[in-house]
Structure 1
Amino acid sequence: MKHIYYILLVIVSSCAQNVKEAKTNGNQIIEKVEKSKDSISIQELKLLTKVEAVHKYGTPSSIEQFILHDAYGEFRNTITNTYSQEERQSESIVIDELTWEKDEETWVTVWYEVQQKKSVPKETYIWDKGTEF
């Protein structure tokens, strides 16, 4: 029974992070309003660890993990060019790629270098939905 209570508590608290309360002038009614996805701060994403970013902005729309090397296309040029060719060829750099929906027309991708105790943001990329790479 404790497990069910704990799961419900986690679900309710995660839902509460996605809403804010607003008071109306007339009847003092409190209603829930969905938080704007445009509140994603690129500057802040560059400072937050992966865990902190997921906690603040919620579950990303997509998550991928890969070992960095030279065989990536145009989309990953930003993260690829962050490292030297020697570093990339060692194939020892693990990258977590998280993408959030910034607004109706835009995605934000953050690449995190996976280190022993945390994932550190290395690069960000803002791109239009529907873009083909």
Structure 2
Amino acid sequence: MAELNGRPMQETSTEPGEFPDRDAARIAAREPLSELPPATADLIGVSDADLDSAEAAFAQQQHDEILRGLDSYAQSYDAKIEEINVTNRRLANDMLKQVAKVKDSITTMWLLGGAINAKQKADLAFVEKSERELDKLEHST
């Protein structure tokens, strides 16, 4: 015989709809039976139609409350996701501003470099032209 927590387990019943002895004893110990089962209890002043109507309305109300709760839950995350999107857009805009500044700085450096190169060439051309003119003056005298 198998053991569970040091105690021998009872054989289980193979009859359909019949509880094993150990389960029936456990259930009986926790939940004492009332004198009348709930399905046959005498409902004072309530007809079966009223009971069915009340149960249907209660079930519908529960259903609606569950759906409203789920909508509220989804909306709370929808708002959080929107906040994340706003933050991400701010971050992306900050990044684009910094990239634009870096591009502007690089363009400015390139233009300054080009101006310096042009100035150097112009100065060199002026000096070379001046030297040629001076050489012509010295040879003509």
Q: TM-score, normalised by structure 1?
A: 0.17
Give 1 or 2: higher helix fraction.
Answer: 2
Larger Rg computed on CA atoms? 2
Structure with the larger strand share: 1
What TM-score, normalized by structure 2, do the two folds share? 0.16
